[in-house]
Chain A
Amino acid sequence: MRYVPHTPGQVAEMLAFLGLSAVDELFAVIPEEVRFKGELSLPPALDEVELRRELEALAGANPGSGYVSFLGAGAYDHYVPAAVRALASRPEFLTAYTPYQPERSQGTLAAIFEYQTMIARLTGMDVVNASVYDGASALAEAVLMAFDLKRKKKVVVSGAVHPEYVETVKTYCYGVGGEVSLVPYTPGYETDWGAAEKAADGEAAALVVSVPNFFGVVEDVRRAQELAREKGLLLVVVANPISLALLKPPAAYGADLVVGEGQPLGNALSFGGPYLGFLGARAAYVRRMPGRLVGETVDALGRRAFVLTLQAREQHIRREKATSNICSNQAQNALLAAVYLAYLGPRGLRDVAYHSHTRARYFLTRIDEAGRGVRVLCRRIFNELVVEVEGLEEKYQQALERKILPGLKLERFFPAEKNRLLVAFTEKRTRGEIDALLEVLGVK
């Protein structure tokens, strides 16, 4: 394939216009010693028929995509309605650049403004930015923001936060010379609040807690609120947006910053990305926020319109004095999230959250009633929970043979957590599928 429109005659004509006779002459400015000679070692070009065949073969070599999945742990198999995908993939959105020419980008700007509004309502926060790379980097950005606001460089992070988020925060902290104090979790998979209190010394800028946490538990947010208040810490909450259809918005329990992974809102799993990170804050912190913000204004005739605003925070204006080095946002993914939220509305979103919760509860109750060899290890859960399974390895393999992905072996992140499985549920899982999983796990 080639996507260049030039005919050989046109190339010759254009070269002649430039007073040149060969394409090579266009590159004469590149000194001999750094000219690449020969040909790049790449596979031969394919036509579109061959290309599709090749890519279909690679897609077909991922049988896990077709299994009945109980995997969650930060990425969830929720249903994406047809209308959401159809609208968000319109080329006027897909093939546009950042809306730096607002008069020709009102579609994107209005959609981001709607996104900011709807995430603000879900989380209860005053301001929400136009999105960042993903949930983990959103948390890292929030931590850097807290350092900046408090002029301190230590953060207390609950050990029940997604371990990959914790690793990301550590990487960002390495850059700015910050310190991460990781608090252990209890046998019931909740934050150890006693340990958190000890870690929250005068050096700490913020406390990070996840609701629900990595293990699916809805943390006792009153403890987080008290601790943050007593110690003068900023409270940073990592939230699952679907859960917020049922759970209190984090602002209601004193969150100063709320972040999370927006993937559950209409975005495909796509082996981990692209997703979007949302980031919300109290109004007072808006000038320290990273990333893009869309604001309302009027045009020369007084008509309402939208524009990127407060850009004096950003790298293209402020360079090394910017609040973050981030340039892009995940606009396409944020658009999916906006259309998803608009389409589902208050009742549809609640349906999705409630159905997911009922399935997790059904699984939990069945194990409680009949469980031998399987034990529920946490109780106040949203759509995900940890169970202990005797002989997990064998049962895990049996599940795979039946084309079931039974969940995440906690050992992957916590080597001491043998025989423990993190099982997630969405509205897509049927009773029959859950019964099949229970059967494999030995729950009759």
Chain B
Amino acid sequence: MKGTPLIFERSCPGREGFRLGDPGVPEVDLGATLGRDFLRSELDLPEVSEVDVVRHYTALARMNFGVDDGFYPLGSCTMKYNPKINEEVAALPGFANLHPYVPEELAQGILKLLYELQAYLAEITGMDFVTLQPAAGAHGELTGMLIIKKYLEDRGEKRTRVIVPDSAHGTNPATAKECGFEVVEVKSNPDGLVDVEKLKEAVDEKTAALMLTNPNTLGLFERRIREIAAVLHERGALLYYDGANLNAIMGRSRPGDMGFDVVHLNLHKTFSTPHGSGGPGSGPVGVKAFLRDYLPVPVVDEKDGRYFLNYRLPRSIGRVRAFYGNVGVAIKAYAYIRALGAKGLREASEMAVLNANYLKKLVEDLFVVPYRGPCMHEFVVSAKNWKQNYGVRAADIAKRLLDYGYHPPTMYFPLIVEEALMIEPTETESKETLDAFAQALLDIHEEARTRPELLKEAPLSLPVRRLDEVKAARDMKLKW
């Protein structure tokens, strides 16, 4: 039966799209120049015209859903609006056509931009130095944790363990392992916060660091953060900040002032760069001054008004990628910060927190609220009452929301909440949108009560119905 179309099925032998004319230089006998043993005999790619390509990818685009299409309250992902001007300026030929190895004197504009962005991010986070090299949040985590590893080794310490809360993002433990650490998980207390007493027991002379998100993945602010920092620092361990939730606190609180030694940010969350269906992101890392020499090289530096790539960091962990970072993403984040300024960034966080609390109050009676009290920029509810009462699960609610024209919240995360739905409206959504979304949940609740099969079959209005994920994993058909 027909389903999602593929370009290969539009292929017609002999049809051509893009071709080049005469080379304009002498022709070459490839057998002679490259060696017959090294040449390939066939190349199987689609044979389509330009109009075929345009219609195919336009059709695929219509099967997608982005922030431009509608509300996207995906917790932990900060799906705020991506300003159009940022796309236009990042595509300016002066940036887009710039080769990374162009002499520095011919690239002073971009180096200045990157230098300033490093400084802005340091100011926003309360850190001393920032690198823009990491390509994404998890890449930033890897960078930050390698910095901690090398610093501790240089001090002659053998610290082998990294502590993560049970509410942490999966990247935290995965990163710790990739840096050669053993992972120790600490349970959250009944308020959804770090259990400081348990933490004290867990931290010892083998502890390298605690990786923490604040506000945490439940959308709650870790009020005892200074005390937590002291627990780590008194025992010679460091404190790592996962910046996934920075959108809650810009201009209101800074990780550097909380006592964090290393932070990573997600420019694609907090600083409005588009998620691109899964990337590219950008995961800058900020450190306190005592860790500066451990940053990956190069960092962008300035002397006497001239900007340059500084490779002279004696204790650097080395590179984490080629070139200097996802510069195209950095340009968009730079434009965002320049557009908003200090007041605008603070207002963004304020309205993000207002929206989350407003929406929480509108919908919380429909669910079980695992942790009481005001939230920050996002909140987590449990649909276990829906499961008990109507036999429908968090995933069913999510799929039904698709029929209502919304992207659903994050499901089943954090892992410590049963039937979790994690809702992050962001500041760019209006009161009207939040009211309508709350009404949709109310309507779906009524459907769950009266026609639960509707939720279990949802989505019903999209090009495809629910997918057989088990079959995909079993058949492993990963190419056409």
Cα A261 to Cα B173 in complex, Å, equals 28
B286-312 interface code vs A (CB 8 A; 1 in, 0 out) = 000000000010000000000000000
Whether A167 sits at the interface, judged by CB under 8 Å, is: yes
- Would A344 and B83 count as touching, CB distance under 8 A? no
30 contacts between A and B (CB under 8 A): A1-B339, A2-B344, A23-B350, A28-B374, A36-B254, A40-B251, A51-B335, A52-B89, A55-B92, A61-B94, A62-B95, A65-B107, A86-B54, A92-B69, A97-B77, A103-B462, A107-B61, A114-B480, A167-B318, A168-B320, A175-B145, A176-B179, A246-B34, A246-B39, A271-B107, A274-B327, A295-B473, A319-B170, A355-B20, A358-B23
A residues near B345, Cβ cutoff 8 Å: 40, 42
Whether B176 sits at the interface, judged by CB under 8 Å, is: yes
Known: A27-B353, A171-B296. A322 touches B427 (CB 8 A): no
Residue from B18, B69, B277 within 8 A of A332 (CB atoms): B277
Distance (whole angstroms) from the CB of B99 to the closest CB of chain A: 4
Known: A45-B343, A320-B177, A332-B280. A272 touches B325 (CB 8 A): yes
- Would B99 and A107 count as touching, CB distance under 8 A? no
Whether B367 sits at the interface, judged by CB under 8 Å, is: no
- Would B97 and A269 count as touching, CB distance under 8 A? yes
B112-141 interface code vs A (CB 8 A; 1 in, 0 out) = 110000001001101000000001111101
Whether B110 sits at the interface, judged by CB under 8 Å, is: yes
Cα A165 to Cα B320 in complex, Å, equals 9
Interface range on chain B: under 10, 10 to 19, 20 to 34, or 35 or more? 35 or more
Distance (whole angstroms) from the CB of A364 to the closest CB of chain B: 9
Cα A31 to Cα B221 in complex, Å, equals 9
Q: Nearest 4 pairs between A and B by C-beta?
A: A272-B323, A59-B94, A61-B109, A332-B276
A residues near B38, Cβ cutoff 8 Å: 218, 221, 247-248, 380
- 4 further interface pairs, Cβ-Cβ under 8 Å (given A10-B431, A58-B113, A358-B26): A26-B353, A97-B278, A295-B473, A309-B472
- Would B100 and A272 count as touching, CB distance under 8 A? yes
Whether A29 sits at the interface, judged by CB under 8 Å, is: yes
B residues near A149, Cβ cutoff 8 Å: none
A62-101 interface code vs B (CB 8 A; 1 in, 0 out) = 1111110101011101000101001111111111111101
Known: A34-B257, A97-B72, A348-B20. A331 touches B277 (CB 8 A): yes
A residues near B138, Cβ cutoff 8 Å: 315, 325-328
- Would A4 and B351 count as touching, CB distance under 8 A? yes
Question: Which of the 9-residue segments A198-206, A229-237, A286-294, A370-378 touches chain B?
Answer: A286-294
- Would B100 and A75 count as touching, CB distance under 8 A? yes
- Majority secondary structure, A binding face: helix
Whether A160 sits at the interface, judged by CB under 8 Å, is: no
Interface size in chain A (residues, C-beta < 8 A): 202
- Would B61 and A93 count as touching, CB distance under 8 A? yes
Residue from A77, A86, A244, A310 within 8 A of B473 (CB atoms): A310
A39-53 interface code vs B (CB 8 A; 1 in, 0 out) = 111111110100110
Which chain B residue shows the least CB distance to A219? B38
- Would B53 and A339 count as touching, CB distance under 8 A? yes
Cα A434 to Cα B150 in complex, Å, equals 47
- Would B475 and A296 count as touching, CB distance under 8 A? yes
Which residues in chain B, 394-433, are within 8 Å of chain A measured between CB atoms?
A: 398-399, 402, 407-408, 413, 427-431
Residue from B47, B72, B272, B322 within 8 A of A134 (CB atoms): B322
- Would B318 and A170 count as touching, CB distance under 8 A? yes
Known: A120-B479, A301-B1, A320-B177. A171 touches B16 (CB 8 A): no
Question: Which of the 9-residue segments B5-13, B194-202, B233-241, B379-387 touches chain A?
Answer: B5-13
A residues near B399, Cβ cutoff 8 Å: 101, 103
A205-229 interface code vs B (CB 8 A; 1 in, 0 out) = 0000000000000100110000000
Whether B258 sits at the interface, judged by CB under 8 Å, is: yes
- Would A133 and B321 count as touching, CB distance under 8 A? yes
- Would B44 and A121 count as touching, CB distance under 8 A? yes
A residues near B68, Cβ cutoff 8 Å: 91-92, 94-95
- Would A27 and B252 count as touching, CB distance under 8 A? yes
B residues near A156, Cβ cutoff 8 Å: none
Whether A351 sits at the interface, judged by CB under 8 Å, is: yes
Known: A295-B475, A347-B16. A26 touches B223 (CB 8 A): no
Which chain A residue shows the least CB distance to B399? A103
- Would A59 and B95 count as touching, CB distance under 8 A? yes
Cα A133 to Cα B358 in complex, Å, equals 37
Which chain B residue shows the least CB distance to A350? B43
- Would A110 and B469 count as touching, CB distance under 8 A? no
Whether B313 sits at the interface, judged by CB under 8 Å, is: no
- Would A247 and B34 count as touching, CB distance under 8 A? yes
Which chain A residue shows the least CB distance to B59? A107
Whether B354 sits at the interface, judged by CB under 8 Å, is: yes
- Would B320 and A34 count as touching, CB distance under 8 A? no
Whether B158 sits at the interface, judged by CB under 8 Å, is: no
Cα A61 to Cα B65 in complex, Å, equals 37
Distance (whole angstroms) from the CB of A20 to the closest CB of chain B: 8
Which chain A residue shows the least CB distance to B72? A97
B54-80 interface code vs A (CB 8 A; 1 in, 0 out) = 101111111111111100101001011
Residue from B61, B142, B429, B479 within 8 A of A128 (CB atoms): B479
Whether A346 sits at the interface, judged by CB under 8 Å, is: yes
Cα A118 to Cα B6 in complex, Å, equals 12
Which residues in chain B, 206-232, are within 8 Å of chain A measured between CB atoms?
A: 220-221, 223, 225-226
Which chain A residue shows the least CB distance to B7? A342
Distance (whole angstroms) from the CB of A103 to the closest CB of chain B: 5
Which chain B residue shows the least CB distance to A164? B322
- Would A3 and B80 count as touching, CB distance under 8 A? yes
Distance (whole angstroms) from the CB of B416 to the closest CB of chain A: 13
Distance (whole angstroms) from the CB of A145 to the closest CB of chain B: 12
Cα A97 to Cα B77 in complex, Å, equals 8
Cα A430 to Cα B308 in complex, Å, equals 32
- Would A405 and B34 count as touching, CB distance under 8 A? no
- Would B374 and A286 count as touching, CB distance under 8 A? no
Residue from A62, A91, A271, A276 within 8 A of B108 (CB atoms): A62
Known: A34-B257, A108-B64, A269-B100. A349 touches B43 (CB 8 A): yes
B239-275 interface code vs A (CB 8 A; 1 in, 0 out) = 0000000000111111001100000000000001011
Which chain A residue shows the least CB distance to B351? A4
Whether B447 sits at the interface, judged by CB under 8 Å, is: no
- Would A133 and B139 count as touching, CB distance under 8 A? yes
Whether A117 sits at the interface, judged by CB under 8 Å, is: yes
- Would B83 and A3 count as touching, CB distance under 8 A? yes
Known: A92-B68, A103-B459, A136-B322. A87 touches B123 (CB 8 A): no
- Would B427 and A4 count as touching, CB distance under 8 A? yes
A328-367 interface code vs B (CB 8 A; 1 in, 0 out) = 1111110100010111111111111011011101100100
Cα A172 to Cα B339 in complex, Å, equals 37
A residues near B318, Cβ cutoff 8 Å: 167-168, 170-171, 174
A residues near B361, Cβ cutoff 8 Å: 17-18
Residue from B83, B174, B278, B430 within 8 A of A98 (CB atoms): B278
Whether A195 sits at the interface, judged by CB under 8 Å, is: no
- Would B472 and A307 count as touching, CB distance under 8 A? yes
- Would A33 and B226 count as touching, CB distance under 8 A? yes
- Would A6 and B94 count as touching, CB distance under 8 A? no
Cα A312 to Cα B474 in complex, Å, equals 12
Whether B451 sits at the interface, judged by CB under 8 Å, is: no
Cα A427 to Cα B19 in complex, Å, equals 11
Cα A322 to Cα B170 in complex, Å, equals 9
Cα A300 to Cα B16 in complex, Å, equals 37
Whether B389 sits at the interface, judged by CB under 8 Å, is: no
Whether B167 sits at the interface, judged by CB under 8 Å, is: no
Cα A106 to Cα B77 in complex, Å, equals 20
- Would B149 and A175 count as touching, CB distance under 8 A? yes
- Would A330 and B280 count as touching, CB distance under 8 A? yes
A residues near B100, Cβ cutoff 8 Å: 75, 269, 271-272
Which chain A residue shows the least CB distance to B50? A83
Whether B348 sits at the interface, judged by CB under 8 Å, is: yes
Cα A345 to Cα B223 in complex, Å, equals 58
Known: A165-B322, A297-B469. A66 touches B97 (CB 8 A): yes
- Would B63 and A106 count as touching, CB distance under 8 A? yes
Whether B37 sits at the interface, judged by CB under 8 Å, is: yes
